[in-house]
Amino acid sequence: MNNILQKITSFLVVLVLPALVIFATVHFGNKRGIPEKFEYQNRADIEKKVDHAEFEILQQEFKRPQDLTAACLSCHNKRDDELMASAHWRWERETTLPNGRGTVTIGKKNLINNFCASAESNNGSCMRCHIGYDWKDKTFDFEDPTNLDCLVCHDNTDTYKKRKGGAGMPATAENATAEFPVPDYNYVAQNVGKPLKENCGFCHFHGGGGNNVKHGDLEEAMLNCSRYVDVHMAKAGQDMSCNDCHLTERHNITGRAYSVSSENNNRAYCESCHTNTPHNDKVIDMHNHKVACQTCHIPIYAKANPTVMYWDWSVAGRTDENGNKITEYDVNHKYSYLSIKGKFVWDDNVKPDYMWFNGTADHFLYGDTISEIPVKINTLMGSYEDRDSKIWPVKIHRGKQPYDVETKEIVNVNVFAEKPGQGAFWEDLRWDTAIQIGMEYVGRYYSGQHDFVSTEMFWPLNHQVSPKEHTLKCTDCHTRSEDGRLANLAGFYLPGRDYAKGVDYTGFAIIIISLLGVVLHSVMRIVARKN
C-alpha cells in the first residue's frame, strides 16, 4: 500500500505537475493579443456644412479670382493672417537645422531637390502649386491677402483646376483650353467646404512633374483605391480624407515632409488615433520603442502606379536627327527618356529602404559645397543610440544633377519658360544659359563650368498603409538572410539576424567536445566491462 502511494506521489511530482506547469506556460505564453477594434468617424461625416449658395456676395460676377478672395475674407476675417504665416503660402519658414548648423529660413522656395533642382526661376511651372495667384516672379506681393487662393484647397466641386505654366493663376478667357477652362467662380464659391483629398492631391500627388513622381506613397490612385493600396483612404474602406490625419487648427496643418522640413514638431502621428499600444500585445507593441508603425505596415509602396527611383539629368538634351525633342518609354509605358529631363527609372511595388530617423533633417543649402558623393540633398537624422530615433521606411530617390565644377555647389537651373529663345532648358536644351539664368535669379555666383554629380534624396514613407494581412512578418527582419529587410541596418543587435561568430563557433565546439567526451567515456566503459 505504502509502495503504491509512493508511486502515485512520484507520478504526480515527476510527471503531472511539471506537465501542468509546461502546459500552462505554453497555453498562456503562446497567445497573440487581439487588437481592440478601432472606430473612427470621418470629420467630413460629422461636420455641418454651411450653404454658401445663400450668400449674396458669392452671387456677384467675379472678373478676377482675387475679387473672390476678397469676398471670402469679408466674412472669414483674420483667416488671411493664418494663411499668410504658413509654409503653404511663404514656401519657407524659420527653422533650426540639426548638427548645430543654426537657424535658417528655408522651404520649398529656396531648397535644392534632385527632381528639377529647385523651384525658384521656374515660377510659371512650379508655383502653379502655390496657394496664391500669379507668383510669376520676385514682384509677387506676399503681403496682399487677395493674392491668396482659397479655392484651390476649399473647392468641393472638383472643377477648379489651375492651368499649367500659369504660376498659380487659373485660366482666363485668353488662355483657356478644354483641359483647363476658365473656372465657374460662382459655382465653385457656392460649393466650398473642408478640403477633400482631390484638393490636397492636386499638388501633393503630382510633385516632380507627374503622378507619383516624387513621394511614391501619394498618388492619384488613392482617390479611389482598394484597402490593399491604402487602408485609410480606400473608397470601400474608411474613405478618410487627408485632414482626418493631418489635423488642422486655424490653417495650421499637422504633418511634415522632410524634403523641406527639419524639425521634430507639428507632425501627424499614427499614435494620435491608434495609441502606442494598438496591438494589445506586449511583444509587438514594444517594437514601437525602436520601430515606427510605418516600417511594418507599409511593406511596399507605389502599389498602384510606379514612382521615379532614378532621374539622370546628365543625358538630357539629346534630340533626333532633325533636332526634335524625343520621348522614349519603358515596358510600363512610363517615359524612360525625355530630351528635356533626361533618363528615368520607374518602379512599382517597391520595397522601402530602412533608416534610423528621429524626426529631424538636414538639408543641402545654397552655398553648401559637395563633400561626399553621392551628395545627400537632405539627410534624415537618427541612430540606434538616439532615444528618439526609430527605424523608418524610406524612399530613396537617386539621380544626377548639375553642379558648378569650380565652386562645388549644386546649381539652380532655369528649366521653364513660356516660349523658346529665353534660355530655359526645357525650351532650348542648353545647360550654360539655363544654369546662368537659374543662378542669377537667386543671386548666386556661377563659374560657367558645370558637370553632373550623383545625388540622393530621402523620403520617409507614411501613406499607402497595408491591411494587416499584408504587414511585414517577424522573419522579414529577424532573419540571417541577406534579403532581410534590415540586412543593411548596422550598429545594433537584432535577434535572428545577428550573432557573434566567435561565440557561436566556440559554443558549438563545446557541444561537440562534450558529445565526443561522452561517447569516448562510454566506449571505454563498455570495453572495460568486457575485459
Q: Which is nearer to another protein, 21 or 315 (CB)?
A: 21
CB of 294 to another protein, least distance (A): 19
CB of 290 to another protein, least distance (A): 6
Please, which residue, 334 or 497, has the CB nearer to another protein? 497
492 torsion bin: left (phi>0), alpha (psi -120 to 50), beta (else)? beta
Q: Which is nearer to another protein, 19 or 57 (CB)?
A: 19
**405 or 509, CB closer to another protein?**
509
For the bound state, the minimum distance from the C-beta of residue 490 to another protein, rounded and expressed in Å, comes to 10
Q: Give the C-alpha separation, 123 to 91, whole Å.
A: 12
Distance of alpha carbon 412 from alpha carbon 297, whole angstroms: 37
DSSP string, 12-32: IIIIIHHHHHHHHHHHHHS-P
How far is Cα 194 from Cα 25, in angstroms, rounded to an integer?
53
Q: How far apart are CA 130 and CA 120, in angstroms?
A: 12
Of 326 and 510, the one with the shorter C-beta distance to another protein is 510
- C-beta contacts of 263-272 below 8 A and 24+ residues apart: 263/95, 263/96, 263/359, 263/360, 264/358, 264/359, 264/360, 264/388, 267/359, 268/462, 270/294, 270/297, 272/245, 272/247
**In this complex, which beta carbon is closest to another protein, that of residue 10 or of residue 103?**
10
**Neighbouring residues of 366: CB distance < 8 A, sequence distance ≥ 6:** 110, 112, 409, 412, 442, 444
Nearest distance, CB of residue 525 and another protein, angstroms: 6
In angstroms, rounded to a whole number, what is the distance separating the alpha carbons of residues 334 and 437?
Answer: 30
Between 34 and 527, CB nearer to another protein: 527
> Least Å distance between CB 396 and another protein?
25
**Rounded Cα gap, residues 256 and 268, in angstroms:** 7
454 vs 479, which CB is nearer to another protein?
A: 479
Tally of CA atoms within 13 A in the half-sphere of 373 that contains its CB: 10
Shortest separation between residue 16's beta carbon and another protein, angstroms: 10
- Minimal distance in Å, beta carbon 231 to another protein? 22
| CA–CA separation, 128 and 132 (whole Å) | 8
Task: Find the shortest distance in angstroms from Cβ 166 to another protein.
Answer: 52
Continuous H helices in 331-386? none
Shortest distance, position 384 Cβ to another protein, whole Å: 6
Cα 237 from chain centroid (whole Å)? 22
Q: What is the dihedral of CA 10, 15, 18, 21, to 10 degrees?
A: -120
**8 Å CB contact between 356 and 386:** yes
Q: How far is the CB of 467 from another protein (least distance, A)?
A: 18
CB of 21 to another protein, least distance (A): 5
Q: Please give the helix or strand (H or E) that residue 299 lies within, else none.
A: none
Q: Which residue lies nearer to another protein by CB, 74 or 481?
A: 481
Alpha-carbon distance of 402 to 71, in angstroms, equals 45
Tell the burial category of 490 from Cβ atoms under 10 Å away from its Cβ (0-12, 13-18, 19+).
exposed
373/515 with CB nearer another protein: 515
Under 8 Å between Cβ of 92 and 110: yes
Residue 228 or residue 492: which is nearer to another protein going by CB?
Answer: 492
351 bridge partner residues: none
Q: Which residues bind another protein (CB under 8 A)?
A: 6-7, 9-10, 13-15, 17-19, 21-22, 24-26, 28-32, 283, 286, 289-290, 384-385, 387, 473-475, 478-480, 491-493, 495-500, 503-504, 506-508, 510-511, 513-515, 517-518, 521-522, 524-525, 527-529
284: helix, strand or coil = helix
